[in-house]
């Protein structure tokens, strides 16, 4: 036979944090139990904060995986442990500094802002790679560490700033979108904008500093000389040779390439209307709610 009980729904205020409110309520249950009889039990039936915390944990794991993959890819393409280490250091510096700026602007770590940080992980290394490669070029020409770091960063400073500004122009207008769409994506736009701006500063300041300290004085090849590095070196050389051959063919048939691109664009337009649309995508919360209505006075049998 079932037991009598009371269901109490606790709702947060519109400006309150769901996770913090749920945590405060759960922590306060122990104090409430002390004032109740011993045969009264308090159980949490549903907690919306669990899904949010799970989503945040998944995003944090995804961000960590993204950082690891970025470092591995840089190590494979740059073929230099020192270069990969310099880029790897710049990633957490940019992200952690973004946390500080977020705190000043009253942004919290939520699903939207963490999504922006996850997207920014692959974007913050762009400027750093450009600066590092240009410093490489000066070192290979015989410049010393300090001169190569200064001239290499100074030469690409304007292009780096311009490339960052062109990306910011895409995200900043989202701040002025009215309605709930602007409210939802405001954190995403601000997070990406902050991280990209900081990454440019890191690329033009921290990267030259580390290259002037980490690189050796010798003017020999900076690439690693082992079986793995040699494998990637041959692979990249073959890819570059294949690209040059096909690029020459494409340039000789420029009219055909342009015509094919226009036809492909026109053919793909109807697909846009077949995709459909909805305000929010379907989300699986790994839970379900079962509501049963009984006749008044009917005895409820235990399930």
pLDDT 10s digits, 90-147 = 888 888 888 888 888 888 777 788 778 777 777 778 888 888 888 888 887 878 888 8
Q: Is 267 helix (H, G, I), strand (E, B) or coil?
A: helix
In tens, the pLDDT along 197-215 reads: 898 898 899 889 888 887 7
CA 47 to chain centroid: 27
What end-to-end distance do the CA atoms of the chain give, in Å? 9
What was the pLDDT predicted at 9? 82
pLDDT confidence of 283, banded at 50, 70, 90? low
DSSP reduced 3-state for 201: helix
Check if the beta carbon of residue 125 is closer than 8 Å to that of residue 89: no
DSSP labels for 37-68? -TT--------HHHHHHHHHHHHHHHHHHHHH
**Average pLDDT of span 210-221:** 69
From 4-8, 152-156, 216-220, 266-270, the region with the lowest mean pLDDT: 216-220
Whether 261 shows a pLDDT value over 80: the answer reads yes
Burial class (CB in 10 A: 0-12, 13-18, 19+), 265: exposed
Q: What is the CATH number that goes with domain 49-260?
A: 1.20.1640.10
Whether the Cβ atoms of residue 98 and residue 113 lie closer than 8 Å to each other: no
CB within 8 Å of 29: residues ≥ 6 apart? 42, 44
Residue 41 banded pLDDT, cuts 50, 70, 90: confident
Residue 182 scores a pLDDT above 80: no
Strand, coil or helix: 226: coil
Helix orientation angle between 157-171 and 145-155, rounded to the nearest 10 degrees: 40
Indicate whether 275 pLDDT > 80. no
Q: Please state, as a whole number, how many other Cβ atoms lie within 10 Å of the Cβ of residue 131.
A: 30
- Asked whether residue 282 carries a pLDDT value surpassing 70, the answer given is no
């Amino acid at each position: 036979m079932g037991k009598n009980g009371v269901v109490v729904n606790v709702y947060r205020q519109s400006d309150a944090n769901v996770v913090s409110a749920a945590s405060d309520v759960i922590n306060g249950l122990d104090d409430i139990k002390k004032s109740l009889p011993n045969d009264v039990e308090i159980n949490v039936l549903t907690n919306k904060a669990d899904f949010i915390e799970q989503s945040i944990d998944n995003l944090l794991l995804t961000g960590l995986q993204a950082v690891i993959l970025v470092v591995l890819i840089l190590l494979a393409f740059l073929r230099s442990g020192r270069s990969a280490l310099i880029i790897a250091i710049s990633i957490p510096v940019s992200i952690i500094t973004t946390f500080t700026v977020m705190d000043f602007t009253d942004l919290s770590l939520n699903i939207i802002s963490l999504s922006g940080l996850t997207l920014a992980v692959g974007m913050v290394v762009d400027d750093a790679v450009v600066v590092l490669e240009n410093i490489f070029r000066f070192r290979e020409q015989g410049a010393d560490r300090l001169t190569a770091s200064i001239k290499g960063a100074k030469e690409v400073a304007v292009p780096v700033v311009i490339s960052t500004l062109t990306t910011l122009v895409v995200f900043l207008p989202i701040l002025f979108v009215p309605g709930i769409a602007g409210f939802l994506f405001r954190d995403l736009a601000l997070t990406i904008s902050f991280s990209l701006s900081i990454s440019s500063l890191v690329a033009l300041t921290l990267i030259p500093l580390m290259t002037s300290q980490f690189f050796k004085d010798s003017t020999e090849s900076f690439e690693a000389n082992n079986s793995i590095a040699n494998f990637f070196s041959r692979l990249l050389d073959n890819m570059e040779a294949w690209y040059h051959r096909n690029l020459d063919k494409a340039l000789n048939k420029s009219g055909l390439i342009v015509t094919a691109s226009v036809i492909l664009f026109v053919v793909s337009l109807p697909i846009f209307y077949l995709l459909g649309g909805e305000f929010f995508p379907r989300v699986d919360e790994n839970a379900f709610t079962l509501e049963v209505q009984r006749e008044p006075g009917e005895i409820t049998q235990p399930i």
